[in-house]
Structure 1
Amino acid sequence: MTDLLTRDRSGDALKIPPHSLLSEQSVLGGLLVSPGSWHEVAGILHSDDFYRKDHRLIYAAMAAKMLAGDPVDMVTLAEELDRVGKLDDAGGHDYLAALCENVPSAANVAYYAKIIRDKATARRLIDAGYDAAGMAFNPEGHSIDEIIAIHQQKIDSLSERWTKRSSTWMDLVSEGLATLEEAENICKAGGHQGMQFGLPRFDDAIVGIYGPRLVFVCGRPSLGKTALVQQMAMHNAAKGMKCGICSLEMSQGELALRSFANRFSIDFGQLVRGDEDARKEVDRQLEAHQMAHYNIFVDTDTFSLDGIVAQISKWKRDHDIDFAVVDHIGLVEAQGFNTRNDQLGGVSRTLKKLCKSLDMPIIAVCQLSRALEKESRRPRMSDLRDSGNLEQDADGIFAVHSADEDDRKKKDVELGILKWRLGHKGWKQGFVFNGQYQRFEDPVNINY
Structure 2
Amino acid sequence: MSNTLSLYNIEAEKSVLGAVLIEPDALLTASDIIEPGDFYREGHKLIYSACLDLYQLGEPIDLITLIERLKAKGELERIGGASYISQLSDNIPTSANISTHAKIVRNKSTQRRISNWANLIKSEAEEAEDLTSFFSKMERDIVELSQYQSINDRDPHVSDIVSNLKRRWNEEKQGLRTYIPVNSKLSVAIPRYVPGHVWAVGGYTSVGKSTFIAQQIVDTCEEGARCMVFSLEDSREEKLIKLIANSANMSQKHLMLGHTNGFEDVIAGAVNKINKWKLYIYDDVYTIDEIRLKVKKGKLQSGLDIIFVDYIQNIIGDGTLYEKLSEAVVKLQKMAKELQVVVVFVSQVSNEAMRSHSELIGLKGAGELSAAPDIVLWLKRVKGEDKERFLDCEIRKNRPFGLTGIYPLRFSEHWSRIEKRGIL
TM-score (norm 1): 0.61
Structure 1 residues 118-157: aligned runs within 5 Å: 122=49, 144-145=91-92, 154=101
1:300 alignment partner in structure 2:
283
Instruction: Report Cα offsets for 1:336-357 as digits up to 9, x if no partner.
Output: x3x2211111111010010011
2:229 alignment partner in structure 1:
245
SS of equivalent to 2:261? helix
* CA positional deviation for 1:361: 0.8
2:146 alignment partner in structure 1:
none
Residue identity in the other structure for 2:414: Q
The separation in 1 between residues aligned to 2:36 and 2:84, in whole angstroms, is 28
Asked if 1:427 is matched to 2:409, the reply is no
The separation in 1 between residues aligned to 2:238 and 2:387, in whole angstroms, is 18
* CA positional deviation for 1:417: 1.2
SS of equivalent to 2:292? helix
The separation in 2 between residues aligned to 1:394 and 1:194, in whole angstroms, is 20
2:22 alignment partner in structure 1:
none
On the 8 A contact 1:216/1:394 being kept in 2, the answer is yes
2:155 alignment partner in structure 1:
166
Identity over aligned pairs, percent: 19
Instruction: Say how many residue pairs are matched.
Output: 324
The separation in 1 between residues aligned to 2:262 and 2:96, in whole angstroms, is 73
The counterpart of 1:232, out of the listed 196, 216, 228, is 216
2:317 alignment partner in structure 1:
334
On the 8 A contact 1:234/1:294 being kept in 2, the answer is no
On the 8 A contact 2:381/2:391 being kept in 1, the answer is yes
* CA positional deviation for 1:124: 9.7
On the 8 A contact 1:305/1:332 being kept in 2, the answer is yes
The separation in 2 between residues aligned to 1:363 and 1:252, in whole angstroms, is 18
The separation in 2 between residues aligned to 1:277 and 1:258, in whole angstroms, is 18
The separation in 2 between residues aligned to 1:132 and 1:445, in whole angstroms, is 83
On the 8 A contact 1:414/1:427 being kept in 2, the answer is no
The separation in 1 between residues aligned to 2:360 and 2:413, in whole angstroms, is 26
Change (3 A) 1:425 1:120: farther
Change (3 A) 1:269 1:156: closer
The counterpart of 2:205, out of the listed 195, 217, 221, is 221
On the 8 A contact 1:410/1:434 being kept in 2, the answer is no
Asked if 1:364 is matched to 2:311, the reply is no
The separation in 1 between residues aligned to 2:400 and 2:422, in whole angstroms, is 25
1:385 alignment partner in structure 2:
364
SS of equivalent to 2:241? helix
The separation in 2 between residues aligned to 1:145 and 1:248, in whole angstroms, is 58
On the 8 A contact 1:410/1:435 being kept in 2, the answer is no
The separation in 2 between residues aligned to 1:263 and 1:324, in whole angstroms, is 19
Change (3 A) 1:295 1:133: farther
SS of equivalent to 1:223? coil
Change (3 A) 1:306 1:136: same
SS of equivalent to 1:430? strand
1:22 alignment partner in structure 2:
none
Instruction: Report Cα offsets for 1:373-423 as digits up to 9, x if no partner.
Output: 434x4x6444111102122211111111122389x9952111111111111
The separation in 2 between residues aligned to 1:322 and 1:157, in whole angstroms, is 33
Asked if 1:351 is matched to 2:332, the reply is yes
Change (3 A) 1:244 1:368: same
On the 8 A contact 1:413/1:431 being kept in 2, the answer is yes
The counterpart of 2:355, out of the listed 367, 374, 377, is 374
Structure 1 residues 28-427: aligned runs within 5 Å: 122=49, 144-145=91-92, 154=101, 164-173=153-162, 175-176=164-165, 179=168, 185=173, 193-277=177-261, 280-281=264-265, 283-286=267-270, 289-335=272-318, 337=319, 339-375=320-356, 377=357, 380-404=359-383, 411-427=389-405
* CA positional deviation for 1:428: 3.7
Residue identity in the other structure for 2:381: S
1:69 alignment partner in structure 2:
none
Residue identity in the other structure for 1:341: Y
SS of equivalent to 1:203? helix
1:84 alignment partner in structure 2:
none
Residue identity in the other structure for 2:372: D
On the 8 A contact 1:418/1:425 being kept in 2, the answer is no
Change (3 A) 1:49 1:174: closer
The separation in 2 between residues aligned to 1:262 and 1:237, in whole angstroms, is 12
* RMSD of aligned residue pairs (Cα, Å): 4.3
Residue identity in the other structure for 2:297: K
* CA positional deviation for 1:295: 1.0
The separation in 2 between residues aligned to 1:412 and 1:351, in whole angstroms, is 32
* CA positional deviation for 1:430: 2.8
Residue identity in the other structure for 1:259: L
The separation in 2 between residues aligned to 1:219 and 1:47, in whole angstroms, is 50
SS of equivalent to 2:409? strand
The separation in 2 between residues aligned to 1:124 and 1:207, in whole angstroms, is 51
On the 8 A contact 2:307/2:342 being kept in 1, the answer is yes
TM-score (norm 2): 0.64
Residue identity in the other structure for 2:314: L
1:27 alignment partner in structure 2:
none
